Amino acid sequence: MNQEKIIVIDFGGQYNQLVARRVRECNVYCEIYSYKKPLEEIKEMNPKGIILTGGPNSVYEEGAATCSRELFELGIPVLGLCYGAQLMMQVLGGKVEKATEREYGKTKTLIDGGKDTLFSGVPDETIVWMSHNDYISRIAPGFDVIAHTADCPVAAASCEEKKLYAIQFHPEVLHTVKGKDILFNFVRNICKTEGTWRMDSFVDETVKEIRERVGDGKVLLALSGGVDSSVLAALLAKAVGKQLTCVFVDHGLLRKNEGNEVESVFGEGGSFDVNFIRVNAAERYYAKLAGVEEPERKRKIIGEEFIRVFEEEAKKIGTVDFLAQGTIYPDVVESGLGGESAVIKSHHNVGGLPDYVDFKEIIEPLRNLFKDEVRKVGLELGLPEYLVYRQPFPGPGLGIRIIGEVTAEKVRIVQDADFIYRDEIAKAGLEKLPDQYFAALSNMRSVGVMGDERTYDYAIVLRAVETVDFMTAEASKIPFDVLQRVMSRIINEVKGVNRVLYDLTSKPPGTVEME
C-alpha cells in the first residue's frame, strides 16, 4: 500500500512491537525491520521518520549491533530509544559508559528543553520507565540535553536542526506517564505525518487488492473460528464470495462445544455466504501427539498435520489457486521474519511450508495488522461484537494448554474446567476485566481427599491477564469469591482433578499461555 510510514529499526529490544503499535495509535502506518536491513532499502521506502529500538547489549562491546552514520544524515527525523539513543550518541561522536547506578523502573525525570517539539505538553517533572546499565556520559556535537534524572545526566538529548532525538527511557510502555504524547509529538508533529492510517481505508484497499490478485481463482481458507480467521473469512467473502472455500479442521483440541458453534456461524444457514467444509480429525491428531511432551514439538506436529489435512481437502475440491491464512503482524515478527528479536514460538501459519504443499500461492491479507487492528476490521466488516471480541485462542489449541502429553482424557478435563471458569467469569459480569483468561492442565499430580477416599489427580491452573497489546501483561485481580466458586465447581464436577491453582506470573518473564 502506498501510504506514509514510520520505520522501526530493531536492535533486539523486548518492546519493538510495542513501539510499532504506539506509532499506529497515532494513525500512522509502521513496520519493523532488523538493524541488518541495508540502508539503501530503507531509503527506497521513503519513510517519514525512523525509530531505533532498545537492545540487550552495550553499544561499546565488540560485535554489538550498530548502524552507519549515514542513517542520521538522510534528512529524515530519527528517534533513538534506550540502546537506540546510546547508539545515536556513540555513532555521532558522543560517549557511552557503564553506569555506576543502574536505573530500572519508574523514575522521576526533569524536562530541561524540547517543550516546543518532542516534550510539548509534558510537565517539567514526569515519571518515565527506565531500564539501562549504561549511560550517555557525553552528548554528541550539536546536541543539547533536554531531560535528566537524579542518576542519569542525559535522560534525553536533541539536535533540533537535524531533527535527531535520543531518549534513554521507554516512552512506549504505559509506565511512562506521558509516553504516548512524546511519541505523538515525534510521529505527527516532528515527522509531519497526516495520520491517514484507518481501518475503513484498509478494508476498501485490501478488498480491491484481493480481487485484482485472485481474479477468477479459487481460495481455500484455514477457518478456525478464532478472531483472525473469522475476520479473514469476512474480508475474503466480501472480495471474492463463492470463490472462497472455508475448511474448518476440528483437531479435537478446541474448547468445549466450540466445533459446533463454529459450524453454526459459518456453515449452512450461517451468516456467511461461503463454501464450508468441516473435517473431524481429533483421533488423527491424538495419534500423532501420543507420547510427545515438548511444547515446541507439539506445536510443529499440530501445524504439520494441519497442512496435511488441507492438502487432502484441496485435492477433493480440485484446483485451488490460493491458500488464505490468518497471519497477523506479531506472528510475522515473533517468527523471526520481521525484526531482530529472538523467535518466541513457531507458528504453523507463517513461512516454512514444505515445497510439496499443493497450492500455487499463499495469501495473507492481515499480516500487517496487530490484533486490535484486526478487531477493528471485523467491526468495519459488520461482524457481531461477540465474535470480534471473543477470547484469544492459540492455533495449536488446547495442545499447548495441556502440559506434557496430550490425550483424549486430558482434553476432556481441560475442556470441562475451562468451560466452568468461563461460565463463572460471565456470571460475575467480569468478561471484560481480563483481556484473556483460560484453564490449563498441569502435569502435576498430587494426593487429595474426596469423601472418605484418597485421590491422586491433576492440578488445574487458572490464568487471567490484563494487557493493552499482549506484548506485556499482568495477572488479573479476579475477586477471591469468584475463584472460590470456580475451584469448588471444578473439584466437584470435573473428574480427575483434585487441586486448582491461580497463576500470578506477569509477561515478562512468563508468556500469556501456559505451555
Catalytic residue annotation: 82, 170, 172
Residue type, position 234, single letter: A
C-alpha cell of residue 484: 472460590
DSSP conformational letter for 231: H
Query: How many Å apart are CA 515 and CA 513, to the nearest integer?
Result: 6
Partners of residue 103 on adjacent β-strands = 132
Region for 402 from its dihedrals, namely left if φ exceeds 0, alpha if ψ lies in -120 to 50, beta otherwise: beta
And the C-alpha cell for 121?
A: 505538553
Start-to-end CA distance of the chain, whole Å, equals 37
Q: DSSP secondary structure string, 409-451?
A: HHHHHHHHHHHHHHHHHHHTT-TTSSSEEEEEEEEEEEEEEET
What's the gap between Cα 212 and its chain centre?
29
Sequence-separated (6 or more) residues with CB below 8 Å from residue 336? 342, 343
d(CA 187, CA 5) in angstroms, rounded, equals 10
State which amino acid sits at residue 184: F
Phi, psi of 143 (to 5 degrees): -100, 155
Q: Are strands 275-280 and 322-324 parallel, antiparallel or unpaired?
A: unpaired
> CA 9, CA 340: separation in Å to the nearest integer?
9
In sequence order, what DSSP letters do the residues of 278-326 get, joined into one string? EEE-HHHHHHHHTT---HHHHHHHHHHHHHHHHHHHHHHH----EEE--
CA angle 304, 300, 249 (to 5 degrees): 50
| Nearest partner of 16 among 467, 330, 326, judged by Cα | 330
Count of residues making up the chain: 515
Q: What angle do CA 493, 496, 500 make, to 5 degrees?
A: 70
343 close to 327: Cβ distance less than 8 angstroms: no
Cβ neighbours of residue 456 closer than 8 Å, sequence gap 6 or more: 445, 446, 447, 448
